[in-house]
Amino acid sequence: MFSRLKSPLILTLKIIRIFAKKVLKDLTQGKEGKLIFNFAMPMLIGNVFQQLYNIIDSAIVGHYLGKEALAAVGASFPLVFLLLSLIIGIGIGSSVIISQYYGAKDLEKVRRAIDTMYIFLFFSAIILTALGIIFSESVFRLIKLPEEVIPQAKIFFNVYLTGLVFFFGFNGTSSVLRGLGDSKTPLYFLVFSTLLNIILVYTFVVIFPMGIGGAALATVVSQGMAFLLAIFYLNKYHDIVKLSLRKISFDKNIFKQTLRIGLPTGLQQSFVALGMIALLSIVNKFGTNAVAAYSVAGRIDSFASLPAMNFAAALTAFVGQNIGANKHHRVKNGLKSTLKMTSMVSIFVSLIAIFFGENIMGIFTNDLNVIELGEQYLVIVSSFYLIFSSMFVIGAVMRGAGDTLIPMFITLLSLWLIRIPLAYFLSARFGPIGIWWSIPIAWFIGMVLSYFYYLSGKWKNKSLVKATPATIPREIE
């Protein structure tokens, strides 16, 4: 069995090696807009592929397993995000530290930061997997998920959790590489994972009908293969990123820095995830049709928000490296360029979602009630993508500078004091449409607060490191 797989895997790694040459970029030199665009595009393409297999999963589940299974997948996502959210924050913290040390030309601390992150991710994955499996059904009942959806939601969620160590590992590896200015190598492994997932989900759901558990298993296997291939590739070919169990070490001081930067972002993401669960509990009151519509429209919404999120991630790395190199003057130019790019993309995506919302919903289900509710969501929410992208991009500047505490409070305020209460009160009067309207209103509040904090300039003095005379080549082959 292994001998049959060995040749295709070796061929895959050789292809990736050809395309992944000259990928570590020094973001402190060159035209800001061009650097950010070139850095963001591989991340965007990779996440498009990632969301694509999520969308294909949902489409196959919706058409072959029914709207209850579709609702189960959608109900599982906020819980998965809750488990991932704190780790996402730590990953962002690690990425910021790595980017600043790399900008300051301190390779030894870059390597120690990488080791520290991997150790933390491994033990976190083990603990969260156990907790998630133990409490999954209780949580689904707590948020009042429709009774007919709970059994399938539990199966999907528990199978998905068995691959948590792979998800953490792959996302952590991607964060490390992006902090080093490499947004291309993660793309190649994401493409591999996506294509494998599409093949497996069709195989496990349609050809060998394993039900909703098969859909989750397809994602676990494809993500696991991508992570293992990435580690093998990096250990063999990369100059900086190498994972050796014999030499790996944990640096307490770097971990404290990581927590200082990453914990506020992780807590922010955790409260966002809890907000999604709270919002889902409000949607659940309106039955399976509303849950299924929210599930599908939410997937489409996540897909549409990718440009803003990936350009913001590129800006975070850009800001981190330039602050680490004491080139603060480049940050403002980078922000302006990023806002222009994301604004154009957001307007285009909004028009697509508004005019073709019904057709897009039809890809996932034939149920007319689900399609109608989902189209209403898309028309309302997508009209405000420009506000969402501006909020995200402005926040990226603060994160890149290492200032994550205030952005956390802004997110919590807009979510828990605006979105959730509005969703509750508006839905009591207008039904699910009231929930849909609460989303862009919260975005607007968050964008305004983020902009005023940016203008205050208080985020500018958060640099962790100072540049040193040592040099690093702009591109490492």
| Residue 178, domain member (yes or no) | yes
pLDDT at 353: 87
Whether 170 and 189 have beta carbons less than 8 Å apart is answered as: yes
| Residue 477, domain member (yes or no) | no
Grouping H, G, I as helix, E, B as strand and the rest as coil, residue 439 is: helix
The rounded distance, in Å, linking the Cα atoms of 356 and 324 is 45
DSSP string, 29-47: SS-HHHHHHHHHHHHHHHH
User: H-helix or E-strand containing 446?
Assistant: helix 432-456
Long-range Cβ pairs for the range 142-145 (8 Å, 24+): 143/75, 143/277, 143/280, 143/281, 143/284, 144/281, 144/284, 144/285, 145/75, 145/280, 145/284, 145/291
One-letter amino acid for residue 248 of the chain: I
Question: What angle, 0 to 180 degrees and rounded to 10, lies between the N-to-C axes of helices 432-456 and 420-430?
Answer: 150
| Residue 114, domain member (yes or no) | yes
Whether 195 and 12 have beta carbons less than 8 Å apart is answered as: no
One-letter amino acid for residue 292 of the chain: A
| Residue 375, domain member (yes or no) | yes
- Residue 163 tokens read as 């691959």
The rounded distance, in Å, linking the Cα atoms of 372 and 477 is 52
pLDDT in 10s for each residue of the chain, 477 residues: 444 545 555 555 555 554 445 455 566 777 888 888 888 887 787 777 767 767 777 788 877 888 788 888 877 877 877 777 767 777 777 777 877 777 777 777 878 888 888 888 888 889 989 988 898 888 888 888 888 888 888 999 999 999 999 988 888 888 777 777 776 777 788 888 888 988 998 899 889 888 888 988 998 999 899 888 888 877 777 777 666 677 778 888 888 887 777 777 777 777 777 887 888 889 988 888 888 888 888 778 877 888 888 888 888 878 877 877 777 778 888 899 999 999 998 899 899 988 888 888 888 888 888 889 989 999 999 899 999 999 989 988 888 887 777 887 888 888 888 999 999 999 999 999 999 999 999 999 999 999 998 888 887 766 655 444 443 333 333
| Residue 472, domain member (yes or no) | no
The rounded distance, in Å, linking the Cα atoms of 325 and 331 is 12
Residue 459 DSSP symbol: G
| Residue 422, domain member (yes or no) | yes
Boundaries of domain holding 156: 2-461
Q: How many domains does the chain have?
A: 1
Residue 477 DSSP symbol: -
The rounded distance, in Å, linking the Cα atoms of 288 and 286 is 7
| Residue 145, domain member (yes or no) | yes
For 327, list phi and psi in degrees, rounded to 5.
Answer: -115, 65
Task: Please name which of 25, 333, 303 lies closest in space to residue 178, comparing C-alpha atoms.
Answer: 25
pLDDT at 13: 52
| Residue 240, domain member (yes or no) | yes
pLDDT at 292: 84
